[in-house]
Chain A
Amino acid sequence: MNFPFELNYSTAFQYHPKLQTPAAILSHKIRDYTKGARVNIIGDILLDTINRHPQFEPFFKSSNILVPIPKSSPLVDGALWPSLEFASFLFAHGLSTQVSRLIERKIPIRKSAISADRPTVREHLPTLALTGELLTEKEEINITLVDDVLTKGNTSMACALKIKEKYPLANVRLFTVVQTKSLEEEFTSFAVSHFNRIVCYESLKIFIHN
Chain B
Amino acid sequence: MYQTTTMRITNYNEYFSLLSPIEKKYAPVNLFHRGHFHFMTDYVKVSVVGSRKVSSEGAISASIISQVLTELNYVVVSGLAEGVDTIAHSEAIKSGGKTIAVLGTPLNKVTPKANEQLYSEICKNHLAVSQFQENSIVGKANFPMRNRTMALISDATIIVEASEISGTRHQGWEALRLGRPLYLLEDLFKRNLTWPQKMIDYGAIRIHLSEIKDSLSLISQLTLVNEFSF
Contacts and interface: CB of A to CB of B under 8 A. Distances in A.
Given A36-B222, A108-B200, A76 B177 contact: yes
Contacts of B229: 41
B176 interface: yes
B205 A111 contact: yes
A37 B20 CA distance: 8
Given A76-B176, A191-B2, A32 B203 contact: no
A71 B229 CA distance: 26
A40 B201 contact: no
Nearest to B203: A73
B218 A32 contact: no
Contacts of B1: 189, 191
A78 interface: yes
Contacts of B20: 36-40, 80, 85
B179 A73 contact: no
Interface residues of B, number: 28
Given A32-B220, A35-B220, A26 B202 contact: no
Contacts of B25: 78
Interface string A80-111: 11100100000000000000000000001001
Contact of A108 (B2, B7, B22, B203): B203
A29 B18 CA distance: 16
Chain B residues touching A, majority SS: loop
Contacts of B218: 113-114
B222 A79 contact: no
A37 B205 CA distance: 21
Given A36-B222, A80-B179, A75 B4 contact: no
A114 B205 contact: yes
| Residue from B25, B220, B230 whose CB has the most chain A CB atoms within 10 Å | B230
Contacts of B203: 71-74, 108, 111
A71 B181 CA distance: 12
Interface string B193-230: 00000001111010000000001001011110001111
A73 B215 CA distance: 18
B228 A29 contact: yes
Contacts of B227: 29
A40 B22 contact: no
B178 interface: yes
Contacts of A77: 177
Interface in B12-30: 18, 20, 22, 25
B173 interface: yes
Interface in B99-131: none
Contact of A40 (B2, B18, B202): B18
Nearest to A110: B205
Nearest to B221: A32
Contacts of B177: 76-80
A44 interface: yes
A14 to B, nearest CB: 13
B215 A114 contact: yes
B201 A108 contact: yes
24 contacts: A29-B228, A31-B220, A32-B222, A35-B179, A35-B220, A36-B179, A40-B18, A42-B230, A45-B2, A45-B230, A71-B203, A74-B203, A76-B177, A77-B177, A78-B25, A79-B179, A80-B22, A80-B179, A81-B179, A108-B200, A111-B203, A111-B205, A114-B205, A191-B1
Given A78-B22, A111-B205, 11 more contacts: A26-B4, A41-B7, A79-B178, A79-B179, A80-B20, A80-B179, A81-B179, A82-B179, A85-B20, A108-B201, A108-B203
